[in-house]
Structure formats: C-alpha cells, structure tokens
A and B are shown apart, each in its own frame.
Chain A
Amino acid sequence: MRGKLVRLAANLLVVVVVTYYLIPILSIAAASFTVQWSREGLPRLVGTSGYREFWDTFEFRRSLWVSLKIAPIAVVLTLLTVVPAAYGIHVSRNKLLKSAADVFITLPLCLPPLILAVGLLQSYGKDPFTLTGTIWIVVLGHVVLSSPYMYRSVSANLQMIDTETLVEAAKSCGASPPTILAKVIIPNLGPGIASGSLLTFTTSFGEYQLAKMVSGFLNQTFPIKIWEASKRVTRVQFAMSFIAVAIAFIFFILITFAFTKSRIREEKVIV
C-alpha cells in the first residue's frame, strides 16, 4: 500500500515537472498559429498571419539573419581559440598553467553576461576601439560565454584518447607541433568538438542579455527583435518565438544525439 503510494507520488512528480517544461513551448506553438482568442482564453481563429507579418517585415527578417550569422562565427572563433588551449593545457605538465586555466574557465560564472556587457559598453564604445554596435563585440562576448562548454567537452574528449602515444608517434615521424595538433589530435576530437560546437551555437543563438546591451540598431539579434515585436499590437512575437523554439529544438536533438554517441558525460560539460 505504502509502496504503491510512493510510486504514485513519483510518477505524479515526473508528470508535473515534464508538463511544466512543456508549458511555454506548447503555448508558444499554439499562440503563434492563433489569430483570435475566445473569451475562455482558448484559440478561436487559426491562421498563419503572424508568420506572414514576420516574413513581410524587413527588420525582423534581418534580425534572424544577424543571429544566424553571429552564431556560426562564434562557433568558429570558439573552436579556433579553445581547442588549441585545451590541448596545450592537457599535455602541459605545468601545474601553474593548469590552475590558471581552471580559474579562467570559471571566470564567466563570476561575471554574468550583463556585467560583461556593462564593461564592454564602456571599454569599446569610444573612438580608438569602437566595437559596440558591430557584430564582432557580440561574437566575442559569445565566445567568452560559451568557452567553458567548449573547453570542458574538448578536454573530456582529450582524456578519453591516449594523447601521449599519439604525440610520440607523430614526433618520431618528424611532424612539427602545429602539424601534430592539426593532423593527429584534432581528427581524434570529433565528438568533443561536435558537442561543444552545438552547445556554443545554441548559447549564442538564444543569448539576449549581452547582445541587448552592446549590439547597435542594425545588428540587433533575433531574441532582441522578439522582445521589440512584443510591443506591437499584433501577435507576431509568438510566431518569431516559435521559429526560435524550432531552431533550438533541432539543436537540442543534435546535442542529445551527439552526447549519447560520444560517451562524453553531458552533465560534466553543462555544469
């Protein structure tokens, strides 16, 4: 009797939590296709006018394009900076370097995106180094914000392969250190690079708090425009939100797939 009650409570908890997770997603899906609502608060007239309004408004389309441009650039830059660093730190025997890397990787936790943006706004807003208002300041901010994910997933991958033997073998064949990294180590880091890149893309695509402060009017990202669209009388923001959900969902599927295939522990990368 008691065991049954406990099991019932456990199942109920799972149902409640999963429903809670799905509420915003499903309600956006419903709202994006709703033209008119009934008095009971349910959709009455269904249509795609929200999507049409999004497509007909140039600045909305542009913002999606800006976000789809910023995210891949952030992925590439994160790869270019973090992968060599993770490898160098992995093979180095320098204890100081290792603890410095540890501090660096935790640093983005101490500085929330807003504070990062407050600093960037004041450091790169004036003439000699004007970067605010360009996509590059947003890109670099996203590189910093997602570098811990990339670092952890690449170094988890490095721990799974025998770097020492690989490096020895390559050296004895006469390969130079850059060649070793490019032609021996990186081909073995496929899973770590894949999961890190996917996490970087989703982080960058959905990021609002830093981009809102430092991106100029012409380079407003998609989440910023969703926020601005909500000031309109129409319900175009739900159509745009659902587009964002759909893109994030594709990446969610890819991330889940990448982690189950790669044996890299997801929680070690995310927290």
Chain B
Amino acid sequence: MVERSPWGVKLVSEPEACQPLYRFPGAVAGPSAAAQGNYLSAPRKESLYAIPLAAVFLAIVIVPFIRVVAGSLTDGSGGGLFLGNYRKIFTTPAVLRSIRNSLSLSVWSSLLGGVIGFFFAHVIAGMKVKAQRLLIAVNTLPLTLSAVVLAYGFLVVFGESGVVNAFLKHLGPGSPPLRVNILTIGGLVFVYLIFQVPLMTIILLSAMLAADPHIEEAAMSVGANRFRILFWVTVPGLAPALFGGFFLLFINAFGAYATAYSLVGANMNLVTLKIVSQFSDVGYDPGIANALSVMIVVLDTLFVVGYRLSMERVKRRRE
C-alpha cells in the first residue's frame, strides 16, 4: 500500500502487502521462518565485520600502490610510453650497482642469519624447558627494538671512532693500522644479523619442537652418529622451514633502509636508499622511485609466495 504524505511517498506495511507471491509448499509462516531467514543470512552478515579493515587497506595499501604503478609509467623524465623509467633503471650503472648491492646484502645476511639461526635453534631445542623458555624470550628482545637504536648501538662499538677501533689504535700504531669498518656491505651484513638471526631461530625452533623425535631415535638405534643424524635426518626434515625462513629473511632485508640510513646516510648505494634520495630536493625524480618500488614489490611478492608455500608444507607436516 502506498500512502501520500507531505514528505513524499511512503510505504505502509500491511499484512497483505508483505505476503510473498509464491510460497514453497513445505515452508512455515510466522516467526520461525523469520528466524530461519536470519540463520541463512548470518554468514553474509558476519563478513560485513571485515569492512572497516578492508577500507583501511584499500585507502592505505591498494590506492597508494596503484598510484605507484601508474607513476612508474607516467611520472618524471622517463615517463610516457615504452616503459622509459624501467629502461632507465636497467641502463643506469649507478642504479644497477645499487640493485646488485641490495641483492648481495640480502642474500648474505639471510644465508648467514639462516645458518646461525639453525644452529642456535638446534641448541635451544635440545635444552631443558626452563633454559629453553629463557632463551626464546631473549631471542625476541632484538625484534622489539627500533632499527635506528640498534644501529647506534653498533656504531658505539664498531664505528669509525668506536670502542674497537680506539682499542686497536691504542694497541699499536702499525703502518697499515688495523681497523674495522661497519660502513661497508660486509659491516651491514653483520649489523643486519641482529634482525635475521632471531627471526630464523623463531621459525626453525617451532618446526624443530614440532618434529617427531622418534625419527632421530630410529636413526640413532641403527648406529648413525650425531653429525650424520644432523645432516641426513634433521636438516632434510626441516627443509621447508629452512626455505621458508630464507625467503622471509630475504624480504625482511631487501626492503629495509633504516639501519643503513642511520649508519651512513644516503651514501651507501642500496635500492631503498636510491628511492629515498629520489624524494629529496636535489635529485627529485619520482618516476625512477616508483619504478624501483614496483620492482621491489614484484621481487618481494615472488619471495612471499615461496615463503607461504614452504610454510604450508611445514604446517602439513605438523599435522
């Protein structure tokens, strides 16, 4: 029924007006049907709870990333057709060198972090519960600290005028003076280990503690020694976790710039620092920054897929 009111047309609910045109033969009228309808629509309603989070992701992740992709194609000196910005990346020697530096920094810090993390987790896994708990807690300590703060901590000890260098100078004025320099790729690898080792330890420890101890016992009962068990039983069993951990560590290192920036400013030639410097007043070229950003995201996404697939296998083994 329709009623005209000063505010316009208004629907008036009347019993006949609400009757459906056709009713299923078995359907029951009345409140129970309403309740059933409520039940059927429940899952759809509950997915509405995800809308605020989805909105935040849309505004803060999706829209800006689309802007970055669009900017990589149109902005700056290399804008326009034919992927000028991308061509520029792969033909400018300084940019190529920065990609190579970032890759070697990430690969080396992930490999070293992986190896140290593996042995550290292996030792923790063999401990008694109390010591285990303490070390697991200590292992998360570096992850709660700011990258800038950790960088200055290392600078005090290993920096140019740090404790170690002052001590080496004090020892003897040899003609090629012994010095340590953390402002190199090798030094950065050393500093990056403070994020890489704890992460790898966490991943591997959970896989180790979930592994079936009977397999190692079986190997021992047929006379295999400790090292053989380690390399022929433990490591292959942990292969998915090792790969997954490596991928995660790589992502972690490749996109980071805080540590390097705090240690050397924008002087170190890394991809991330190249991006940062594109937004300074001197070398403003957002086209290049956007193209480099897209490149990082593509590479990271490949590694994230690898990480997820490996961790799926870890999970399946656990079950």
Contacts and interface: CB of A to CB of B under 8 A. Distances in A.
Nearest to A143: B56
B103 interface: no
A160 interface: no
Nearest to B153: A24
Given A115-B255, A122-B67, A208-B147, A81 B300 contact: no
B146 A223 contact: yes
Interface string B147-173: 111111110110001111111011000
B27 to A, nearest CB: 21
B154 A23 contact: yes
A119 B140 contact: no
B57 interface: yes
Given A17-B197, A118-B289, A110 B153 contact: no
B188 interface: no
Nearest to A88: B49
Interface string B240-272: 000000001001001111100110000000001
Contacts of A93: 43
B141 to A, nearest CB: 6
Interface in A170-227: 177, 181, 202, 205-209, 212-213, 223, 226-227
Number of chain B interface residues as a range:
35 or more
A85 B145 contact: no
B262 A6 contact: no
B276 interface: yes
Contacts of A81: 52-53, 56
A41 interface: yes
B168 to A, nearest CB: 9
B206 A267 contact: yes
B49 A85 contact: yes
Interface in B192-236: 193-194, 197-199, 202-203, 205-206, 226
Contact of A110 (B149, B154, B203, B301): B301
Interface in A217-268: 223, 226-227, 230, 237-238, 241, 244-245, 248-249, 251-252, 255-256, 260, 265-268
B53 A121 contact: no
Nearest to A107: B61
Given A208-B147, A244-B146, A84 B152 contact: no
Contacts of A101: 50
A20 interface: yes
Interface stretch (B5-13, B84-92, B118-126): B118-126
B238 interface: no
Contacts of A248: 144-146, 149
Given A27-B163, A267-B202, A208 B146 contact: yes
Given A13-B123, A37-B166, A177-B46, A238 B136 contact: no
B237 interface: no
Contacts of B126: 10
B290 A118 contact: yes
Contact of B293 (A82, A118, A141): A118
Contacts of B279: 118, 121, 213
B120 A14 contact: yes
A4 interface: no
Given A144-B56, A271-B203, A206 B48 contact: no
